[in-house]
Amino acid sequence: MLVNVLLFVVALIIFMIYVGPFILVLSSIIFVLTRKSIDIISRILIVIIILLCTFLLFITTIKFIDEPSKYYSKMKQVNDSKSIIGLTKEEVENKLGKPGRIKKSENIYLYNAGTLMKEVIFVKHYDLWRKLHYYVLFVNFDEDDIVKSTSLKKSLEFYVP
């Protein structure tokens, strides 16, 4: 019996931690709007101040997280450092492996560049938004089969070489 009561109290406390601020804001707004002794301009200003404070508190509890995969980090480093520019096709294949796709008409190799998870989290527990982005590394060759440029682009779909 005592365990059930303690579990109920803990659940009530957790509920009030996350829902309590919203109830407090709404009850404050209702209280201000129903007072007859306060003129309309003061009511509006008080409501705006309450909403602004709530918005600022909400913003401080939101975290934006970009979580790259190990493969994405490696390919991004290859692209940013431009370390493969000037290499031949064989050297690129030795360094990065076999390409996933080859566009012979454009003389381009495509490599799977991994994923980047973008998240917006509220109070470390609630996911407001989560999206997984897939990336592809484009390796462009000139007429002599030497790398002239690289680019890392977002792919519309999961890309498996």
Q: C-alpha 96: how far from its chain's center?
A: 27
pLDDT in tens, the chain (161 residues): 777 787 788 777 777 776 777 777 777 777 777 777 778 787 788 888 888 887 877 777 778 788 888 888 888 888 888 888 888 888 888 888 888 777 777 788 888 888 888 888 776 666 667 888 888 888 888 888 888 989 888 887 654 44
Q: Which amino acid, residue 111?
A: Y
pTM check: above 0.75: no
Structure-token pair, residue 101: 């796709």
Q: How many helices (H) and strands (E) does the chain have?
A: 4, 5
Alpha carbons 9 and 66: distance in angstroms, whole number: 36
